[in-house]
Amino acid sequence: MNTPEAWNNDRSDGSRWQKLLGRGRGRAGGPHHAPSPPPPEAYRPSPPVGPPPGQAHYSVPTAGRRPPVATQTPPSAAQMRPPQQGLPPQPRQAPPPPPPQQQVEPSPVALQRLRRDLGRSRVIAFINPKGGVHKTTATVLSAAAMGTARGGGVIAWDDNELRGTLGLRAGSARHGRTIRHLVEHLDQVEAAGVHLPEHLDEFLRHASDGSFDVLAGDEDPKLQRRLDPTTVLRVLDILTRTHGIVCIDTGNNVESPNWRTVVSSVDRLVVTTVPREDAAFSADWMLDHLEEGGYGDLVKNAVTLLSMPTPTPGPLLHDLQRHFSQRPRACAVVPYDPSLEPGAKIEFSALRPQTRAAWFDAAATIVDGL
């Protein structure tokens, strides 16, 4: 497995990461030369401000003589006239209306790709061992785009073992039930037969527009002991029997039995990251870890999702996009949106039109080939 020390010391063939960061940091390998100063005539001073030649400057008043006092212009008759009473106030001119916002519709091609018959239920995991790389945001908005295009049948599961926030940021809080309550009643739900969707719905939350369902995580960190591989597989079996697409927000521990069980059961991996060195390095390291663990096919068919956390893309964006387009099967880029910055509830309809269109395209890229 590649380590940071090995990448920093490996200069024989040019480390892929050093080359990548070298381009992003400066994009200039040679020495920087200071610009030569302009010629002296470029700084020719301007003529001094003062009286013309031959005229004396204002003299300083001598002692005992008061300087002249500047006279004031008396007010005009119109200025001295008292204001007229009883006249209605003049209406203030209304500001011009803002220009109409440009409507950006999702691509018909992207909608067609999202509505394609997938043959069977598909499981998609959003992964990166580093926090703060928009895993939860990507899970919610991908599920929203897929569910909107497909008319439902999509669920987002918060499988983060240590207090995931997906249940807080997505879905209506019609009740406080989480994955813990589902696990406690797993036997009864599994035995529901043809009434399985109705029984499962008692433990789910729903997006405000009804485009997807939510299975919220629990706040109790001790629950991870109960989410053993067998329980995770039983939950996945229920979700795939009731939904066409299952989007899973994973945790950060790549050695967790829960995490490894999910990875071994998915149809596609979505590597989420942001255009920063630490986040991209973590994503690349994880792909190495998966390849060494025998998941080379999943890595080859994975999709990288680059999310913009700020309005201005960083200098690494294009290099990272090129890098992650060559290693997994595809790389999608989604823009910054101010409605996501507070970290509050995520509403797909609150995004700017161009952001929604970008998420439709990204979701279509995720489901392509499934």
Which sign does the torsion angle of CA 225, 182, 162, 213 carry? Answer: positive
Lowest mean pLDDT, pick from 25-34, 173-182, 215-224, 225-234: 25-34
DSSP per-residue letters across 163-200: T--HHHHSS--S----HHHHHHTHHHHHTTGGGHHHHH
Looking at residue 296, the DSSP 8-state letter turns out to be H
Averaged pLDDT of the chain? 81
Quick check: helix, strand or coil at residue 134?
coil
Task: Classify burial at 94, counting beta carbons within 10 Å of its beta carbon; exposed 0-12, middle 13-18, buried 19 or more.
Answer: exposed
pLDDT tens-digit map of 127-172: 999 988 999 999 999 999 999 999 999 999 999 877 777 888 886 7
The overall pTM is greater than 0.85: no
Which CATH superfamily is 108-367 part of?
P-loop containing nucleotide triphosphate hydrolases (3.40.50.300)
Find where tokens 């519709």 sit: 105
Lowest-confidence region among 39-53, 90-104, 181-195, 303-317: 39-53
- Give the confidence band of 75 by pLDDT, cuts at 50, 70, 90: low
Residue 31 has pLDDT above 90, yes or no: no
36-50, 222-236, 255-269, 276-290: least confident range: 36-50
